[in-house]
Amino acid sequence: MSSRYDIEARISTLRHQLAAAERELAQMEVINPDRLFSKDEMETMALTFETRAHYKSNWKKAIKGDLVKNVANILGECYYYLIDDDSGLDRTAVKAQTGELGSRKWQLFVLKVIHYLKQQGSFIRDEKSWNFDTFEDTAGGEDEVTQDAAYYLIKNPEWQPTV
């Protein structure tokens, strides 16, 4: 069994390693601000959208169940509609919000849509157990809901999540 001193020393070492990794990551962002986020980074950012301790494990299960990928795929499918003149949106406004398909700005837009949908309650599958839908099966209209969310966010770029 480790002594209290050994555990405190290990914690101190881990804190220093974490600080060094955070500095390295910050430096990477300065050097390459257009670097695409990895799948793990996207999922980690999406995990922060659930702040209530009781629901975090179910939200994490949904995120690990490809919620981010599924929403990104739906948005990718409706991207060309959003930039089409028939959408009623200004193409310049769309590009200002979304960036190019697959870009870092696009990834941030995907996260913004997920955050918006989360706050709207769109991922709730079962209110009693608070299981979250991953939008894998769009038979329930999840693609329309996602497209409507994207449309709303493009029309309302000032939208910010509530705390």
- List the pLDDT tens digit at each of the 163 positions of the chain: 788 888 888 888 888 887 887 777 767 666 677 889 999 999 999 999 998 888 899 999 999 999 999 999 999 999 999 999 999 999 999 999 999 999 999 999 999 999 999 999 999 877 677 789 999 987 889 999 999 999 999 999 999 988 7
Residues 24 and 52 in one domain: no
Inter-helix orientation angle 39-47/104-120, to 10°: 30
Q: Is 49 exposed, middle or buried (0-12, 13-18, 19+ CB in 10 A)?
A: middle
Instruction: For the beta carbon of residue 140, count every other beta carbon within 10 angstroms.
Output: 11
Looking at the domain assignment, is residue 20 inside a domain? yes
Q: SS3 sequence, 10-41?
A: HHHHHHHHHHHHHHHHHHHHHHCCCCCCCHHH
> Are residues 28 and 54 both part of a single domain?
no
Q: Is residue 163 part of a domain?
A: no
- How far apart (Å, rounded) are the C-alpha atoms in residues 94 and 82? 7
Q: What is the pLDDT of residue 15?
A: 85
pLDDT of residue 122: 93
Q: pTM for this structure?
A: 0.80
Q: Based on the domain organization, do 144 and 70 belong to the same domain? A: yes
Note whether 8 and 64 are same-domain residues.
no
Instruction: State the DSSP code for 48.
Output: T
Structural domain that includes position 44:
37-155
Whether residues 66 and 29 fall in one domain: no
pLDDT the model gives residue 28: 67
